[in-house]
């Protein structure tokens, strides 16, 4: 049986929001009175992208590659993790076709920041901005996202064998 040259992956991540933390989403710091609680900088979008890429390449998940009990990763900028993730899938012979993502957050509103996120993340992954879709939504005040307790991100990716 031959191996398919095209693969899809899905990533999902959530983080609790609390006062006293920075809110990092899509590689940028978002001004807000709460931030993402995490071992790293808590960038939910980057973590979901990494999971989707690792999953598509059948390389396990972000926690396998970057465990949350590793003291060297405490407070790390998630862009460093994304750069390493991209490097690992490329070393395995894959290239990114496209990424489609959605961040669920009641507030603050992210739409004005999306172009900046696309610029930053596409540069980290060395892809074209046109290959990275970032969307934002609310949960209409329902669930942990709607009450402001947390943030979630959903990502699907398409990769291909070079």
65 is in an annotated binding site: no
**Residues in the chain, how many?**
162
63 is in an annotated binding site: yes
140 is in an annotated binding site: yes
33 is in an annotated binding site: no
100 is in an annotated binding site: no
77 is in an annotated binding site: no
66 is in an annotated binding site: yes
47 is in an annotated binding site: yes
102 is in an annotated binding site: no
32 is in an annotated binding site: no
Annotated binding site: which residue ranges? 13-15, 39-40, 47, 61-63, 66-70, 137-140, 144
Annotated binding site for a divalent metal cation: which residue ranges? 13, 15, 47
């Amino acid at each position: 049986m031959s191996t398919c040259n095209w693969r899809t992956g899905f990533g999902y991540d959530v983080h609790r929001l609390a006062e006293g933390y920075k809110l990092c989403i899509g590689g940028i710091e978002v001004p807000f009175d709460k931030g993402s609680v995490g071992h790293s900088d808590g960038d939910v979008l980057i973590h979901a992208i990494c999971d989707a890429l690792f999953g598509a390449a059948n390389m396990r998940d972000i926690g396998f590659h970057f465990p949350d009990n590793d003291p060297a990763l405490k407070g790390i900028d998630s862009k460093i993790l994304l750069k390493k993730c991209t490097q690992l899938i490329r070393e395995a012979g894959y290239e990114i076709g496209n990424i489609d993502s959605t961040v669920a957050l009641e507030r603050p509103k992210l739409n004005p920041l999306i172009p900046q996120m696309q610029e930053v993340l596409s540069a980290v992954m060395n892809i074209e901005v046109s290959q990275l879709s970032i969307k934002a939504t609310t949960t209409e005040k329902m669930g942990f996202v709607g009450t402001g307790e947390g943030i979630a991100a959903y990502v699907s990716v398409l990769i291909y064998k070079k």
